[in-house]
Amino acid sequence: MSVETLTSRRPFLTRAQGIGALAQDLSRYVSYFLICLSVARQRRRLLTLDEKALKDIGVSSVDAFREANRSFWDIPEDLKPHNPTGLERRNPFPTHARG
């Protein structure tokens, strides 16, 4: 997909603004992906804990197994970056008058 194609979907944006918006979107996705990796790593570590360690943190072996087998992208709400998917984007149709 070319820059012209991407920026043409965002009316009234200059090429620099379109590239900046694209970079911002990419940054969100990278942040979300890195958080998913970190959570997946923590979930795998749960499986390495023995019963005593799990009891110390208040987790049963069944809960640890269930948590470790959750989907990669299924992360807790409090760890999700603001607007990770870009579904609630800024308004692509600015209300300011074009001159």
Tell me the per-residue pLDDT of 18-30, one tens digit each, with 9 for 90 and over: 777 788 888 888 8
Q: What's the predicted TM-score (pTM) here?
A: 0.57
Tell me the per-residue pLDDT of 63-99, one tens digit each, with 9 for 90 and over: 999 999 998 888 888 777 665 455 444 544 445 544 4
| Helix/strand/coil percent split, the chain, to 5 | 55, 0, 45
pLDDT band per the 50, 70, 90 thresholds, residue 60? very high
How many helices and strands (H and E) does the chain possess? Answer: 4, 0
Q: Which amino acid is at 69?
A: N
